[in-house]
Structure 1
Amino acid sequence: MTQNAPGQSPSQYQLLKQRRFAPFFWTQFLGAMNDNIFKIAFTSLVTYHTALFAGVDGKTAAFLISAIFIVPFVLFSATSGQIADKWEKSRLIRLVKTLEIGIMLLGTAGFYWHSAPLLYTGTFLMGLHSTLFGPVKYAYLPQHLNQRELVGGNGMVEMGTFVAILIGTIAGGEIAGLGEPGLLAIGGVCLSVALAGRVASHWIPESAAAQADLRINWNPFSETWRNLALARESRVVFTGLLGISWLWFLGATFLTAFFNFGKDVLSADQNVVTLMLAMFSIGIGIGSLLCERLSGGRVEVGLVPFGSIGMTVFAMDLYFASHHLSVLAHLQGVTEFLGRGVHWRILVDLFLLAMFGGFYSVPLYALIQSRCAPTHRARIIAANNILNALFMIASALMAMALTHAGFSIPEIFLVTGLLNAAVAIYIYLLVPEFLIRFVMWLLLHTVYRIRVTGAERVPDEGACLFVCNHVSFVDAVVIGATIRRPVRFVMDHRIFRIPLLAWFFRTVKAIPIAPAHEDADTLAQAYDQIAQALQAGEIVCVFAEGRLTDTGQMQPFRRGVERILSRSPVPVLPMALRGLWGSFFSRKDGAAMTRPFRRGLLNRLELVIGDPVSAADATPEHLREQVLALRGPWPC
């Protein structure tokens, strides 16, 4: 999909050259890398070199480390969200990065003295560090990126996070593989990365406090409840938070189980575990970056169901690829491991599972950021962190309970995949917008290829009336899928009598309309709903011809546009669809939808958006001339 949008970076990678993004990116990158060097090294050591730490159970230590790391998210997220809304963000980031240096000094002492209690304490404090940084991280981006950059910026941050995880995983695993000789080196590397992160944070530009007069409630329990209530005010936002938290549940289940999966199921050494973690990290990084291209630079929640389908498929296939493997008497290295074809299937499953996780997560983060009020955006992110932590704790409890019940690691993966399918269905029934957008997105990436010209003319906010030619039964779907803001369509009331179409158009809040001689009450209600929508700052789209064309030619525009504008004098955007005449959904050569694949697959369409017309100049005749000019030569 091509959109011409002045002000949009030619590529999301260009953000790395700009001060408003680059220092922040590298600060969070180094923080995520340090988290994982520390955690992976500690986890690897207690799994493969348990004797170095007195009183540690190597079988359960990985789950315990994961749980300790996320406890601060439950306890302090509500407080950190308030602090992020009240304080200037660049100053807060620098304070957090200074705290990280102190934590790494403690961690270095823990590795040097082989002290599990000190390392557990360091794990808790690194969780606190991430708790403080999280709300700032996702509240910072909407302050410095415009709507057209938000998906790309989030994709870059997600990609950077998981590349950092990859580097941290490899570094932590490799140094831990040295055993006792590598203990002091781990501390030195972690301390160096913390210092580099503090230096990078020095260049982060000032970010004004969202609500400087906010009075902080230091009671974490009452504030946690208040934050969750704040998030529930928007059903779509809260469902997005639940969706992200579920991804953390799924991710925590897989990542925490990798060490035992490698050692007990695959008979593999820690270098193979590092390889699996690398495939997982690369997958989610690539998926995050691809979101920019697949969504056309918009906040496209239609990718969320696509991601959830892929996660379910490859989580279940991971079970079928690994549940029958026999345990060897020795641990395989990377070369021996890669010598068996079934192991390549496991790596591909992990890569694709993670890639679809990227498709799933990036649009949800962008959705939450774009639909939250700026004054309490950080507290909504804090509510997200609380939910994430609770879901991750639930993940650890489920994994431990299933393990004690006799489930193998592959069987735990299968249960998680099936649960993912059930949760996805529940979310999409709760908020059908995700499923509707997926259907729209799928249509435009399978049957059609669409180019959008003039997308920059659609205002980022405020009321607007679209006026378009009416060529086929999917005109509304094409327009709705290509415009970055929700659109309220005015549709013939008879469509609402068809069961499936009725559900679809009611879900997208279409407005039914009827001729006065058929149903005067429906007509009056339609104009009332249109006026209410425009007054609320929404976009409304009308097909001013009043009916679908039978010939491909444009019919005269009706006077309804004048009646709408007399009540709500808003700007009018004329637009034209090209390429739909003669398609399966048009009436060319007879009734629509009677000749499948009439023009084959991957039909090329174009939506052309013209310059705005003032309400005073928007006569039916003038608007028809504008749409005709945009449509170009017939047939189109």
Structure 2
Amino acid sequence: MSQFALLGSRRFAPFFWTQALAAFNDSAFRNAMVMLAAFQMGLSDKDVGLYTNLAPALFILPFFLFSASAGQLAEKFEKTRIIRYVKLFEIAAMVLAAYGFITHHLVLLLIVLFMMGVHSTVFGPIKYAILPQALKQSELVGGNGLVEMGTQMAILIGMTAGNLLMLMAGMGPHLSAALTIGVAVIGYFASRVIPPAPATAPDLKFNWNPFTETVRVLRITREDRAVFNAVLGISWFWFFGTVLVAQLPLYTRINLGGDGTVNTLVLTLFSIGTGVGSLMCEKMSGKRVEIGLVPLGAFGLTAFGVDLFLARPGAAAVRGMDWLAFLHAAGSWRIVFDLTLIGVFAGFYVVPLFAFVQSRAPSSRLSRVIAGNNILNALLIVMASLFGLTLERLGVSAAHIFLSAALLNVLVAAYIFTLVPEFLMRFITWVLVNTLYRIRVDGMKHLPEEGPALLVCNHVSFMDPLILMANLRRPARFVMYYKIFQIPLLHFVFKTARAIPIAGQKEDPAVLQQAFDAVDAALADGEVVCIFPEGGLTKDGEIATFRSGVEKILARRPVPVVPMALRGLWGSVWSRRDSMLRRARLPRRFRARVELVVDAPRPPEEVNAGVLEERVRVLRGEMA
């Protein structure tokens, strides 16, 4: 089922439109306020600069003050009720904004801006914590992609609407007021249709002290190292994006020689690219939380950020071009290409990180983890503003600031991937498997979404664990022959995936016993373990007799058993159909079509080695 089918589902669509309308209104209000101050009130450049620089600080301040409290609210109380209160608060804020627009009361508008910061602060933890409650695990990436796409498009359309309406002579303030109030009201009615999302920690004792709670929330966010580093990755995305967007007006005017329409065009390209990249994540990840896309996204941000600098490092020869003249100018399409692909790779980068946090953080603490993320986001946004401002004061051009951010991205990404090798491991796996094979998966819905399970599968090639690793919806511990475990390069992947090396009784009985102990411990912890009961690769393409190891595992730890079968691997890369010498050449079946078939779980008391062998034979069929 396509991710777009979620837009027709009540468990997702009302929430999607509620959050999109909120993003639209926030963007429309802020841009209308800037247009009013800059072009409608006859203020001096100094006064305009004061208001435009004060505005972002007022919007960000609530994230520091109230994010920790917002995380507590989202976990202690039913989420849709809080959303409706937040939408009523938005309506009240927009009514005040309407008065400020019509009377040109900038102080009141700045107060409303602070109120909208509070609105976003409270809504943020709910926005991402509600998705795992409403969606299945297989829908999480697609749902996050739709939310990110909807947010980017809403911000872009809101920005355009806020700018255009406020600049309409005579009617601008009235039209802006009508728009923002109307959208807030529609958003409230959309929120009334969101299904209930029960509290995940109803017994949580509410801490009214925002400072001590902020410290506690940040401590909770740091408890799981992988989650915390994913949070740092998301915050870095906000740093990178803030630097990029803040420099675009100067870059547009000086380097591109464009007017305001060109600035709108480049923002549009970035937003559309991010939306496209976000939507592509589901297809590229096979509907699973694929953090292997994160290094790919980081690479793209740097590669196209550097190329954006190289495309136009100096000032444009012509100034004041509109967007159409810019598109006809020499070298402009390279810049269009770079800006769009920076957005696409930004989607690859941030959507899997959000899905990873949602899937890995405990549900009873997810809202507070998101709140901690919002605090760090706000901090990195402030740091990005200071970073850009400092370089500007030192005389660094906008193009060189882009280059600095792109190169800094390499260092930050390397730091995160060094701390959490799982990101790099997933990237290597994703690239290898999707380069060598074309894989179709059938029956993944049968894999239990939680709790222990023992997976059994036929063994055709050295790549089998990687193929399964890249396509299973849940992380699995693979039991594999210790010599395969030690293969250079792949050893890093298998070790990071916490694979369990095993040896024969005659080869190394100690390793064999350690393997059975590790399997039992993993199942006891609620993990998924995958074994290849044949005990080795097939030498003739046929399934060998299943050994009794599976029965020993189940006798010690009775858990559901999921039979699986790989089809089409015989004769492909690294199967034993060819000699080692011939396998070293380019294989005959490069990009082989492979199928993974997953059967329904079987109770442990109903299976043994013979029963499982027969079932796997049926699943594989004639396609070896």
Residues 68 and 371, structure 2, Cα contact 8 Å, conserved in 1? yes
Instruction: Give the stretch that moved more between structures: 401-410 or 110-119.
Output: 110-119
- How far apart in 2 are the matches of 1:279 and 1:23? 27
- Asked if the contact 1:227/1:379 (under 8 Å) is kept, the reply is yes
Q: Which residue of 2 aligns with 1:214?
A: 204
In the other structure, the counterpart of 2:440 is 451
- The offset of 1:320, in angstroms, is 1.3
Deviations 1:23-50 (Å, cap 9, x if unpaired)? Answer: 221111111001111223334565x639
Instruction: Tell me, yes or no, if the aligned pair for 2:242 and 2:381 is still in contact at 8 Å.
Output: yes
Report the CA distance between 1:531 and its aligned residue.
0.3
Shift of 1:203: 2.0
1:434 aligns with 2:447: no
Aligned to 2:26: 35
The worse-fitting range, judged by mean Cα deviation, of 528-537 and 60-69 is: 60-69
1:563 is aligned to 2:516: no
Q: Deviations over 1:535-557 (max 9, x none)?
A: 11111111112122233232222
Report the more deviating stretch, 23-32 or 623-632.
Answer: 623-632
Matched, 1:12 2:3: yes
Query: Match of 2:172?
Result: 182
Residue 260 and residue 117 in structure 1: after superposition, are their counterparts in 2 closer, same or farther (change >3 A)? farther
Show CA shifts across 1:164-190 (max 9, x none): 012112212323444776344333322
CA distance in 2, matches of 1:206, 1:549: 51
> Which stretch shows the higher mean deviation, 585-594 or 95-104?
585-594
CA distance, structure 1, for counterparts of residue 329 and residue 555 of structure 2 = 73
Match of 1:22?
13
CA deviations 1:451-478 (Å, max 9, x no partner) are 1122122111111111111111110000
* 1:7 corresponding residue in structure 2: none
Aligned sequence identity (%):
48
3-state SS, counterpart of residue 216 of structure 1 = coil
Further displaced range: 332-341 or 430-439: 332-341
**Contact residue 66 and residue 256 of structure 1 kept, 8 A:** no
Residue aligning to 2:264: 274
- Residue 544 of structure 1 contacts residue 561 of structure 1 at CA under 8 Å; is this kept in 2? yes
Deviation at 1:432, TM superposition (A): 1.3
Letter aligned with residue 20 of structure 1:
R
Secondary structure of the corresponding residue to residue 472 of structure 1: coil
Residue of structure 2 equivalent to 1:299:
289
Q: Deviations over 1:323-355 (max 9, x none)?
A: 223264x52222222221322222221111111
Q: How does 1:154-303 map to 2 (within 5 A)?
A: 154-178=144-168, 182-303=172-293
Amino acid at match of 1:202: R
One-letter code aligned to 1:219: N
Give TM-score scaled by structure 2 length. 0.95
Question: Does residue 534 of structure 1 match 2:523?
Answer: yes
Asked if 1:141 is matched to 2:126, the reply is: no
Q: Secondary structure at the match of 2:564?
A: strand
Aligned-partner Cα distance in 1 for 2:190–2:605:
53
Q: Could you say what secondary structure the match of 1:375 adopts?
A: coil
Partner amino acid for 1:90?
T
Over 3 Å counting, the alpha-carbon distance change for 1:338 and 1:183 in structure 2 is farther
Q: Which amino acid aligns with 2:226?
A: V
Change (3 A) 1:297 1:360: same
- The aligned counterpart of 1:53 is 43
Question: Contact 2:573–2:590 at 8 Å: present in 1 too?
Answer: no
- Measured after TM superposition, the shift of residue 298 of structure 1 is 1.4
Cα distance change on mapping 1:22 and 1:555 into 2, 3 Å: closer
Whole-Å separation in 2 of the counterparts to 1:531 and 1:598:
38
- Aligned residue for 1:52, secondary structure, equals coil
Distance in 2 (CA, whole Å) between partners of 1:360 and 1:546 is: 39
Q: How far 1:518 moved relative to its partner?
A: 2.2
Give how far 1:488 is off.
Answer: 0.4
Aligned mates of 2:178, 2:254 — CA distance in 1: 31
Residues 447 and 600 in structure 2, CA contact (< 8 A), matched pair in contact too: no
Amino acid at match of 1:11: S
**How is 1:61-80 mapped onto 2 (pairs within 5 angstroms)?**
62=52, 64-80=54-70
Name stretches of at least 5 consecutive residues in structure 2 with no aligned partner.
none
- Residue type at the aligned position of 2:63: F
Look up the equivalent residue of 2:270 and give its one-letter code: F
> Partners of 1:448 and 1:531 in 2: how far apart?
32
Number of residue equivalences: 624
| RMSD, aligned CA | 2.1
Partner of 1:112: 102
1:463 aligned partner: 452
Q: What secondary structure sits across from 1:574 in the alignment?
A: strand
Question: Structure 1 unaligned runs (5+)?
Answer: 1-9
Which residue of the partner structure matches residue 89 of structure 1? 79
TM-score, normalised by the number of residues in structure 1: 0.93
Equivalent position of 2:609 in the other structure: 620
Report if aligned partners of 1:584, 1:595 keep a CA contact under 8 Å in 2.
no
Tell me: CA distance 1:194–1:617, structure 2 relative to 1, closer, same or farther (3 Å).
closer
- Residue 589 of structure 1 corresponds to 578
Conserved? CA contact 1:264–1:327, under 8 Å: no
1:373 has 2:362 as partner: yes
Deviation at 1:266, TM superposition (A): 2.5
Q: Given that residues 261 and 322 in structure 2 are in contact (C-alpha distance below 8 angstroms), is that contact kept between their aligned partners in structure 1? A: yes
User: What letter matches 2:25 in structure 1?
Assistant: N
* AA partner of residue 71 (structure 2): G
1:544 match: secondary structure: coil
Give 1:387's aligned residue.
376
| Structure 1 residues 504-515: aligned runs within 5 Å | 504-515=493-504
Residue 608 (str. 1) matches residue 597 (str. 2): yes
Paired with 1:175 and 1:592, the residues of 2 have a C-alpha distance of 71
